[in-house]
């Protein structure tokens, strides 16, 4: 079997690293293809070093540009490589332009796609990421899904449960493995050593790069006016290159950088960043990955967005959406700082993203599909199966597996009276309403 992984940005390298390492460990043939969307050393190369994975086999070097240009160049480069390499499956991760380009190319070439971190939805179609992840899900064969909630999103859109694998999120694998290494090593980044982070208290780690925040002057101004008033905190801000450019364009960079309690530093390596996060009192972010890392590391998070495709972090109690609203930022940040019961409740939120074995579960599922011949994509030769869609209220003790065997059907949706549930094989259906497809 040959597995190809496509990645292009910082979070994709971080979240694919545990899977790349697991594939290597099992001696499976693999190639890694970098689109070159992120190209600065501190946004790309340093992560291969910190996460101890080999340099990519290919780099398409698309660089920065408009969405259309970037995606088009990626498609061209990815197609050329995949036609040569002929992998059995291609893995894409998350919701960047690499995911969109990789998924479209593979769908046209009839190569199986595994979407890692599938099923997330913000329901905000103005976000480029929302379009990318939805298109990738339409094109995919295997779905590696962090939580039951995201799996339910896919069921609601009509995807068959057969190909949905709830694995947890590989961000937890990476966090657990590397935090220990980071703690033993200590800070290496000069800017953090100079600041003497270890002697600081009340650390607020800030990151922001989302287009809908940093490209909109009014939002940036609101956020900065809140930061100005958080002078009880030591704000450490490893700045994303996109944000640096827009702050400079808006003439706001110096204004923020001149505040005594705000320390803007260049983007920092993964180990240094994990260590910084773990020592923080609070995280203020619009990053997807950081919302997940915060709840994994038991650090309260305030998210600078009005919606999130990670709602589990909010319902679990570890994350609060504050948008770019100055009052909401200040009120919640001050409460975390001054109300220890409130802060403890946020810290004790249960991590919804699994136990750190997402990479093992993902590669297990791929190997099984390969062995069973399920990665081959071919036009159907059989006359279409006929089935009817039915609905039923279940009032006996019966598991999903037992019901499906008895009815020769596949359960689609399960409602427990309050919300949709994911039909795991062993779920007892008593008292639930279901829809299912029954083969004739
Ligand atoms: C991209 C992803 C976003 C992800 C983020 C992770 C898409 C649509 N967006 O956003 O989902 O959350 O990566 O960080 O795929 N730049 C540099 N050096 C670099 C890379 C970028 O200076 O190495 C600057 C360029 O000015 C560029 C800008 O940052 O125009 C934005 O980069 P781009 O890759 O287009 O999007 P991100 O904001 O990084
Ligand atoms: N990160 C890092 N150094 C930094 C900022 C972030 O290593 O200076 C890591 C962070 O640990 C997380 C990931 O980058 O795993 C998040 O990436 P980003 O916020 O760029 O993208 P998103 O997750 O929003 O797509």
Residue 270 in contact with ligand 2 by CB distance below 6 A: yes
- Token code pair at residue 283: 């995280």
Catalytic residues: 209
Residue 18 in contact with ligand 2 by CB distance below 6 A: no
Q: Which ligand is nearest to the CA of 290?
A: 2
Lowest mean pLDDT among 110-124, 223-237, 330-344, 426-440: 426-440
**Site of tokens 């944000």:** 243
The reply to whether domains 2-169+356-371 and 186-347 share a CATH topology is: yes
User: Is 380 a residue whose pLDDT tops 90?
Assistant: no
Residue 209 in contact with ligand 1 by CB distance below 6 A: yes
Q: Which ligand is nearest to the CA of 212?
A: 1
For 2-169+356-371, CATH gives 3.40.50.2000
Task: Give, for ligand 1, the residue of 64, 133, 285 to mutate: max count of ligand atoms closer than 8 Å to Cβ.
Answer: 64
Nearest CA residue ID for atom 19, ligand 2: 287
Contact 324, 223 (CB under 8 A): yes
Nearest atom in ligand 2 to the alpha carbon of residue 15 is 15
Span 233-258, mean pLDDT? 97
Closest CA to 168 of 321, 364, 302, 2: 364
- Token code pair at residue 143: 């779905």
The per-residue pLDDT for 389 is 87
pLDDT tens, residue by residue, 427-437:
999 999 999 99
The per-residue pLDDT for 387 is 78
| Residues above pLDDT 70, as percent of the chain | 100
Residue 436 in contact with ligand 2 by CB distance below 6 A: no
Task: Give, for ligand 1, the residue of 6, 38, 46 to mutate: max count of ligand atoms closer than 8 Å to Cβ.
Answer: 38
| Residues above pLDDT 90, as percent of the chain | 97
Q: How far is the C-alpha of 17 from the C-alpha of 6, rounded, in Å?
A: 12
Closest CA to 172 of 340, 362, 326, 3: 362
Q: Exposed/middle/buried for 262, CB within 10 Å: 0-12, 13-18, 19+?
A: buried
The mean predicted confidence, pLDDT, of the chain is 96
Q: Exposed/middle/buried for 259, CB within 10 Å: 0-12, 13-18, 19+?
A: middle
Question: How close is the Cα of 414 to the center of ligand 1, in Å?
Answer: 39
The per-residue pLDDT for 382 is 76
User: Is 386 a residue whose pLDDT tops 80?
Assistant: no
User: Is 193 a residue whose pLDDT tops 90?
Assistant: yes
User: Is 418 a residue whose pLDDT tops 80?
Assistant: yes
Nearest CA residue ID for atom 7, ligand 1: 96
Residue 245 in contact with ligand 1 by CB distance below 6 A: yes
The per-residue pLDDT for 90 is 98
Task: Give, for ligand 1, the residue of 242, 243, 289 to mutate: max count of ligand atoms closer than 8 Å to Cβ.
Answer: 242
pLDDT tens, residue by residue, 123-166:
999 999 999 999 999 999 999 999 999 999 999 999 999 999 99
Model confidence at 114, in pLDDT bands (50, 70, 90)?
Answer: very high
- Token code pair at residue 413: 């949706």
Nearest atom in ligand 2 to the alpha carbon of residue 47 is 7
Nearest CA residue ID for atom 2, ligand 1: 96
Q: Which ligand is nearest to the CA of 170?
A: 2
Question: How close is the Cα of 278 to the center of ligand 2, in Å?
Answer: 14
Closest CA to 357 of 169, 179, 120, 126: 169
Q: Which ligand is nearest to the CA of 238?
A: 2
The residue ranges of every structural domain in the chain are: 2-169+356-371, 186-347, 387-439
Q: Whole-structure pTM over 0.95, yes or no? A: yes
Nearest CA residue ID for atom 39, ligand 1: 242
b/e burial code for range 395-416 (CB count within 10 A of at least 16 → b): eeebbbeebbeebebbbbbbee
Structural class in CATH, domain 186-347: alpha beta
């Amino acid at each position: 079997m040959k597995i190809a992984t496509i990645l292009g940005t910082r979070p994709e390298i971080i979240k694919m690293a545990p899977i790349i390492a697991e594939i290597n460990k099992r001696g499976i043939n693999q190639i890694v293809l970098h689109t070159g969307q992120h190209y600065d050393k501190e946004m790309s190369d340093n992560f291969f070093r910190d996460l101890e994975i080999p340099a990519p086999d290919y780099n398409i070097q698309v660089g920065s540009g408009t969405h259309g240009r970037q995606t088009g160049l990626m498609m061209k480069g990815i197609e050329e490589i995949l036609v040569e390499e002929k992998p059995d499956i291609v893995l894409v991760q998350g919701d960047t332009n690499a995911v969109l380009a990789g998924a479209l190319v593979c769908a046209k070439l009839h190569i199986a796609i595994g979407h890692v971190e599938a099923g997330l939805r913000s329901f905000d179609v103005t976000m480029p990421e929302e379009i990318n992840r939805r298109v990738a899900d339409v094109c995919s064969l295997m779905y590696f899904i962090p939580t039951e909630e995201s799996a339910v999103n896919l069921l609601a859109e009509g995807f068959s449960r057969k190909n949905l694998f709830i694995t947890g999120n590989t961000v937890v694998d990476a966090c657990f493995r590397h935090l220990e290494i980071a703690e033993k090593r200590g800070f290496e980044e000069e800017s953090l050593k100079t600041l003497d982070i270890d002697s600081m208290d009340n650390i607020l780690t800030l990151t922001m790069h989302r287009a809908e925040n940093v490209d909109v002057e009014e939002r940036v101004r609101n956020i900065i006016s809140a930061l100005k008033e958080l002078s009880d905190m030591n704000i450490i801000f490893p700045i994303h290159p996109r944000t640096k450019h827009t702050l400079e364009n808006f003439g706001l960079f110096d204004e923020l950088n001149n505040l005594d309690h705000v320390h803007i530093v260049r983007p920092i390596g993964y180990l240094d960043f994990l260590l910084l996060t773990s020592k923080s009192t609070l995280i203020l972010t619009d990053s997807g990955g950081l919302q997940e890392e915060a709840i994994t590391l038991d650090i309260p998070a305030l998210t600078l967005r009005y919606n999130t495709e990670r709602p589990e972090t909010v319902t679990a109690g570890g994350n609060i959406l504050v948008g770019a609203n100055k009052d909401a930022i200040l009120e919640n940040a001050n409460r975390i700082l001054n109300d220890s019961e409130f802060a403890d409740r946020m810290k004790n939120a249960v991590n919804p993203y699994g136990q750190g074995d997402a990479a093992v579960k993902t590669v297990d599922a791929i190997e099984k599909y390969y062995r069973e011949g399920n990665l081959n994509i071919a036009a159907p030769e059989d006359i279409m199966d006929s089935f009817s869609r039915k609905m039923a209220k279940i009032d006996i003790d019966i598991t999903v597996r037992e019901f499906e065997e008895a009815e020769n059907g596949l359960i689609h949706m399960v409602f427990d009276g309050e919300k949709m549930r994911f039909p795991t094989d062993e779920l007892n259906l008593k008292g639930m309403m279901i829809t299912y497809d029954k083969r004739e």
